[in-house]
Amino acid sequence: MADLDKMDVAILRALQQNGRMSNADLAAKVGLSASACSRRLDQLEKSGIISGYHARLSNAALDYKMMVIVHISLSGQFAKTLAEFEAAVKKCPNVLVCYLMSGEYDYILRVAAKDLADYERIHRDWLSALPHVVKINSSFALREIIDKPNVGL
């Protein structure tokens, strides 16, 4: 944030509200010329502050109505063990998020499933087959309260 000026923050806020707006609309919204806005946007992308543009899909509308928080313990935390697990978990189509953690569990995952039978399949075919897994603890989300795509600016 230290390298961002007020205009950069204004651009980022506008894009968080509508990432599909044209450069001309973005420039008008933040009070810049189209060329100046395009240069700033290009710099924000090159610096990695803007990491991409995505369509935010509704899991529920796609019939993935069950969210499962999965805690995983591995047999050890050797670099090779972690690397092998991480390479494999990236291939799991229903894993939406995976974090390496400190504390009791090695990883926490957020998994989308259509229903309990679908989660049983995911658990059996994917999660239990991940390398070096010794413990899986699954918690089922009852209701989503908040799911922000970005931190507020």
- Verify that 36 and 93 share a domain, yes or no: no
CA triple 30-34-38, angle to 5 deg? 90
Which pTM was predicted?
A: 0.84
The confidence score (pLDDT) of residue 152 equals 80
Residue 51 lies in a domain: no
The confidence score (pLDDT) of residue 2 equals 60
Residue 90 lies in a domain: yes
Residue 121 lies in a domain: yes
Question: What is the tens place of the pLDDT at every residue in 56-68?
Answer: 899 999 999 999 9
Question: Which residue segment(s) compose the domain that 99 sits in?
Answer: 66-140
Q: Considering only CA atoms, which of 110, 115, 117 is closest in space to residue 65?
A: 115
Question: What is the tens place of the pLDDT at every residue in 26-81?
Answer: 999 999 999 999 999 999 999 999 999 988 899 999 999 999 999 999 999 999 99
